Amino acid sequence: MNLVFPVPFRLVFFSMLVTALLTASPTFSQSRPKAAKTNPPDKKSVAKSKDAKKDNRKEKELAATEREKDKRNTKTQGRVAESLDKKGKKERKLSSVETAQRRREDAERRRREEERRQAVMAEMRRREQARREAIARKIAFERGLRTETVANIATDRTEGEDLAIRNVAVNALGGHAGSVVVMEAQTGKVLTIVNQNWAVRSSIRPCSTIKLVTGAAGVHEDVIDKRTGAVKKVSTRRNLDDALAYSDNPYFQRAGVAMGNNKLVETARDFGLGQPTGVNLDGETSGRLPVSNQHPRIYSHGDDTEVSTIQLAVMVAAITNGGKR
């Protein structure tokens, strides 16, 4: 259905509409903001703007790079810390193992040192005990020898002896175990023999008294220089007199080796060793000479040689008498 307004009504309505439009137009125009007048941008401003934007981007990129580096560094530090922690644990473990090993080694070393110390102490105690026992045996042996010496002297035959000289010899022997022979060197007359059983019927190793035979043989064989007393062709620090005074074993060993065993045995026999002296007592021993022994000690220590007291007296008398007996 179509509504039809009256003409007057339509005129009035139109007039009101026009009035309303006219009234609202200034307000509307005032409410709209005026467009700002802008000048066209110049090139420097545009360049600065671009530079600012570029710097801003660079700063952002640099900040991002730094953050990335920080992240990587943090991760790296974490890994390093973890690695160091593992290494530290491993080192602590190794350190504890090494410490335990070192303690075991120290304990073993102390144990061995203690064993050595105990062994040394035991050896010292053993040697001290052996020394004391040797002294005790020596004392007992010497007591036995002295007892035997006293018993032998009591049975000596004294016919034809010089009793005054015999008393002096017995007193000189004193409490020692041994024997004494007193003889005139020029005539070979025996004045007294104390402990005749040992002096005539028993033989012993001559020890350093054999050096007299070695020295005489060396001079006779021209191994020892008669003028200087030195062993020829051999370096020695002493002459014959000093070597006898100091009982220099190397001197006589060098001289003996230079002349040989045969010359020693020959000279010893010339001095009355290795054979009976012919004293008017029964049971005299001949002794022994080192006929086949080439060891250097036979010239200095009398090894493999046995002599009686009466034989030694004859030997010394022969040397004193210019080699005659």
pLDDT string in tens for the chain (325-residue length):
445 555 555 666 666 766 666 665 555 445 555 554 555 666 667 666 777 777 777 777 777 787 787 777 777 777 777 777 777 776 666 677 788 888 888 899 999 999 999 999 999 999 999 999 888 888 887 888 888 999 999 999 999 999 999 999 999 998 888 999 999 988 889 999 999 999 999 999 999 999 999 999 999 999 999 999 999 988 888 999 999 999 999 999 999 999 999 999 999 999 999 999 999 999 999 999 999 899 999 999 999 999 999 999 999 999 888 877 7
* Residue 226, φ and ψ in degrees, nearest 5: -65, -30
Inter-residue contact 211 to 240 (CB < 8 Å): no
CA 314 to CA 267: how far, in whole Å?
13
Domain count within the chain = 2
Considering the domain architecture, whether residues 107 and 179 belong to the same structural domain is answered as no
Considering the domain architecture, whether residues 175 and 311 belong to the same structural domain is answered as yes
Inter-residue contact 281 to 181 (CB < 8 Å): no
Query: Which amino acid does the sequence have at 41?
Result: P
Considering the domain architecture, whether residues 148 and 194 belong to the same structural domain is answered as no
Q: Which of 154, 176, 210 is the last residue of a domain?
A: 154
Considering the domain architecture, whether residues 176 and 272 belong to the same structural domain is answered as yes
Distances (CA, A) of 210 to 93, 203, 251: 76, 14, 13
* Residue 299, domain member (yes or no): yes
Considering the domain architecture, whether residues 174 and 146 belong to the same structural domain is answered as no
* Residue 25, domain member (yes or no): no
Residues 6+ apart with CB under 8 A from 273: 213, 287, 289, 305, 307, 311, 315
Query: Which amino acid does the sequence have at 128?
Result: E
The structure tokens 């570029």 sit at: 54
- The 8-class DSSP code of residue 190 comes to E
Considering the domain architecture, whether residues 176 and 100 belong to the same structural domain is answered as no
Domain extent, residue 105, equals 68-154
What CATH number should be reported for the domain holding residue 297?
3.40.710.10
Residues 6+ apart with CB under 8 A from 107: none
Considering the domain architecture, whether residues 261 and 140 belong to the same structural domain is answered as no
Considering the domain architecture, whether residues 137 and 109 belong to the same structural domain is answered as yes
Q: Which helix (H) or strand (E) holds 61?
A: helix 43-154
Considering the domain architecture, whether residues 81 and 221 belong to the same structural domain is answered as no
Q: Which of 96, 124, 154 is the last residue of a domain?
A: 154
Inter-residue contact 254 to 224 (CB < 8 Å): no
CA 246 to CA 225: how far, in whole Å?
19
Inter-residue contact 243 to 227 (CB < 8 Å): no
Q: Which of 154, 188, 207 is the last residue of a domain?
A: 154
Inter-residue contact 180 to 173 (CB < 8 Å): yes
Tokens of 303: 């090894």
Considering the domain architecture, whether residues 270 and 172 belong to the same structural domain is answered as yes
Nearest Cα neighbor of 199 from 164, 162, 174, 169 is 169
Tokens of 192: 């007294």
Inter-residue contact 255 to 214 (CB < 8 Å): yes
Cα–chain-centroid distance for residue 295? 34
pTM over 0.75: no
